Amino acid sequence: MPPPLVSVQMKKNKKPSLVLTLSAAGLLIGAGSVAYWLLAQRQISSSDLLVGANIIPGDALFAVSLTTDPQQWQKLRQFGTKETQTELDKNLVQLRDRFLTNNGYDFQKDIAPWVGDDVTIAILAPATGNKPAPKPVTTNENAASDQQSMVMVLPVKNPEIAKNILAQPKILKQGKWSDRTYQGIAIKQSQGQAGQNFSAALLDGRFLVITDSPKATERAIDAYKNKTSLATTGGFTENFPKIANYQPFAQFYVNVPTAAKIAAASPNRPLPAQVLAQLQNNQGLAGTITLESEGIRFKGVSWLNPNSQRVLVVENKAGKMQSRIPAETLMMLTGGNLQRLWRDYVLTSQGNPLSPIAPEQIRGGIKSLTDLDLEKDLLSWMKGEFLLSVIPATPKEGSPNDFRAGLLFMVQTSDAYSGQSLRKSAEASISQLDEVMKNQYQFQVQPGKVAGQPVVNWVSPYGTLTATHGWLDGDVAFLIVGAPIADKIVPKPNYTLAGTLPFQQTVPTEPNPTNGQFFLDVERTVKNFPLPTLIPNQQTLLDATRTIGMTSAVSDNRSNRYDIFIELKKVTNTTTLPSPEGSKSNSVR
């Protein structure tokens, strides 16, 4: 899963004896292994805010909340394949045994009777302000704890049971429990355990707050009493309700500027000052994950810093291109304005070592290969909706297993905002491109026709058709590279991708209007294309996925919305999670 769970797992070498804490911790971290495919996560509680948002300090690096409903966890285990279920079960069993069983706790017996519907864990950024003098000797573990700390918030639905557990915690294997008070709040904390300083406090009888350091407990109490919590962070309460959903499986929040500062301070991948300045314009990224009958849905929102000078342009003009391509399309990506997309990419990627490709390299590559200026000669007329897709060609007669595909690019050559036609500028640039292919690469540039419509073909020196370009409906330019698939889009296909059941069931209909959509038929694509390995267990995860769909939009001048749905395969004859050794319980948790 994303960064949150990585950070959480950095903490797992600490064994808080107050497993009450780590019961939820286990739950949350468990989402880490689960989150392989979740691509992101989300929010919602009865108040449409992250559980514990009024307790978690506002400078928290991230926070993630997970359901405590065993039925939802069992439902999650039904998705995927036997291989993914085995991997998930292995992680869940390890977490359960480490944080519960090994400390004498059972979730259903000791935790479920009093805990609320969701539990939240947050990783706090290093504390600022007066810092104590450095210790003569600092262990790696102490150094790590100086860098970040953990706060867990467990809503209490049965205060009496929770008070009893807090008053009579399990006996520590090392050290002892002590009591103290801070701002009128009673705190119980461990002492004498190497590398372990867990604290617990009950706030207003409604929230059990557990941390891995006394200082973190004080920061949480301060945030709660002084109203400096996550709930008061700029844009938080305005944007979280946008992604509210009924009974979510998970919710999350990432503090973008804080994460950027920590990344900038990292000796491994430091961020340049100009990149850090750009990221300061962003404030938050939040999401909600829900489990549906056929897969996992993610609703996300990102927003700018309220004090940022940068604003977004609300221009949601996409949504028509998917009706121009055939039903057999493997992949589709659309957007509302390629020129604006490029400008945004440059703004956030200039000098950023984490960017896939530096803008300067793209500009230089285009200039070197075509002698055209990317911004002046090409993007200047690409202000309308655009599409990039992969479409399989019809197999040659007698070779039904001969798989070939073409890459299709389409763009509406009119200004998405004003509607002004830019075809003349486009024709001039395309004509220049034809000359380059002819004179520089010795391609034959030949006029042709597809279904009576004029096109231009580029034929390589070896006599192979390499590319085709032409026009649709007067102002939509297209370019095909690879297998000849022009007959798939000219004339407009009767059975389009937009009309297929996989597309309709996978690509979210919200937000609407949209500024972009994405569709990927994972099963057919992986079957025919070898993909580079980008993440651990990638092939296992791809084998468990059928299709992926996404819809995005600019919500307002300071926020973007994203909806993602991942259709998954299902495991037949799902078993229960293995019981703890020596226990007769078959509890899923």
- Reported as a single tens digit per residue, the pLDDT across 272-308 is 555 555 556 678 889 999 999 999 999 999 999 888 7
| Tens of pLDDT, residues 225-247 | 999 999 998 889 999 999 988 88
Amino acid 190: pLDDT: 79
Q: Are 154 and 119 in contact, with CB atoms under 8 Å apart?
A: yes
Residue 249 and residue 72 in contact, taking contact as beta carbons nearer than 8 Å: yes
Distance CA 105, CA 23 (A): 8
Mean pLDDT for 506-533 is 91
Asked if residues 60 and 231 have their Cβ atoms less than 8 Å apart, the reply is no
* 521 in the same domain as 426: yes
pLDDT at 136: 34
Residue 21 has pLDDT above 70, yes or no: no
pLDDT at 170: 73
Number of structural domains found in the chain: 2
For residue 122, give the H/E element and its range: strand 118-124
Q: How far apart are CA 586 and CA 578, in angstroms?
A: 7
- On whether residue 104 sits in a domain, the answer given is yes
Closest CA to 49 of 303, 208, 232: 232
User: 441-458 pLDDT, tens per residue?
Assistant: 999 999 999 999 999 999
Residues 261 and 385 in one domain: no
CA 214/CA 517 separation, integer angstroms:
47
pLDDT of residue 130 exceeding 50, the answer is no
Average pLDDT, the chain: 80
| Torsion sign across C-alpha atoms 209, 213, 217, 223 | negative
In single-letter form, the type of residue at position 79 comes to: F
| 488's tokens | 């798939």
With tokens 């009576």, the residue in question is 452
Residue 348 domain flag: yes
Q: Is residue 17 domain-resident?
A: yes
Q: Which of 170, 201, 218 is nearest to 57 (CA)?
A: 218
Q: Give a yes or no: residue 416 inside a domain.
A: yes
Q: Of 200, 18, 38, nearest to 111 (Cα)?
A: 18
Are 355 and 231 part of one and the same domain?
Answer: no
Tokens standing for residue 254: 């990432």
Question: Please, what is the end-to-end C-alpha distance for the chain in angstroms?
Answer: 20
User: Residues 6 or more apart from 526 whose CB is under 8 A from it?
Assistant: 542, 543
Residues 168 and 317 occupy one common structural domain:
no
Mean pLDDT of 122-136: 59
pLDDT tens-digit map of 339-359: 999 988 887 776 665 567 788
Give dist(CA 342, CA 273) in Å, integer: 22
Are 352 and 412 found together in one domain? Answer: yes
pLDDT value at 554 more than 90: yes
Binning pLDDT at 50, 70 and 90, where does residue 224 land?
A: very high
Torsion of CA 531, 536, 541, 543, to 10 degrees: 50
Confidence of residue 567 (pLDDT cuts 50, 70, 90): very high
Residue 318 vs residue 580, higher pLDDT:
318
- Mean pLDDT to the nearest integer, 14-34: 33
Whether residues 279 and 354 fall in one domain: no
Q: Place 20 in a pLDDT band, splitting at 50, 70 and 90.
A: very low
Which pLDDT score is estimated for 6?
Answer: 31
Average pLDDT over residues 112-133: 77
Taking each helix axis from N to C terminus, what angle separates 423-439 and 359-370, rounded to the nearest 10 degrees?
60
Q: Is the pTM of this model over 0.75?
A: yes
Same domain, 238 and 370: no
How far apart are alpha carbons 50 and 65 in whole angstroms? Answer: 7
Residue 125: which of 221, 232, 265 has the closest Cα? Answer: 265
Residue 105, domain member (yes or no): yes
Two tokens, residue 26: 């286990």
Residue 195 pLDDT: 56
Would you place residue 520 in the very low, low, confident or very high pLDDT band (cuts 50, 70, 90)?
very high
CA distances from 179 to 22, 145, 168, 556 (A): 20, 22, 12, 49
Mean pLDDT of 471-500: 95
Task: Give the pLDDT confidence score for residue 278 in this predicted structure.
Answer: 55
> 502 and 365, same structural domain?
yes
Q: Report the alpha-carbon distance of residue 280 to residue 328 in Å, rounded.
A: 43
Is 23 in the same domain as 69? Answer: yes
Inter-CA distances, 154 with 4, 50, 67, 183, 570, Å:
18, 12, 11, 20, 32
Q: How many Cβ atoms from other residues are within 10 Å of residue 530's Cβ? A: 5
Percent above pLDDT 70 for the chain = 77
Structure confidence by residue, pLDDT tens digits, 145-202: 345 788 989 999 988 888 887 787 777 767 788 899 999 999 988 776 655 677 889 9
Whether residues 377 and 470 fall in one domain: yes
Q: What angle do CA 554, 556, 559 make, to 5 degrees?
A: 70
Q: How would residue 32 be classed by pLDDT, with cut points 50, 70 and 90?
A: very low
Confidence of residue 580 (pLDDT cuts 50, 70, 90): low
State CA 249 to chain mean position distance: 15
Tell me if 504 is assigned to some domain: yes
Is 188 domain-assigned? no
pLDDT at 216: 93
The mean per-residue pLDDT over the stretch 482-501 comes to: 95
Domain identity same for 282 and 324: no
Does residue 462 sit in the same domain as residue 351? yes
Domain boundary pick from 291, 321, 348? 291
Q: Print the domain residue range for 60.
A: 3-127+158-175+226-291
Whether 182 maps to a domain, the answer reads no
Residue 556's φ and ψ, nearest 5 degrees, are -155, -170
Q: What is the mean pLDDT of residues 100-118?
A: 79
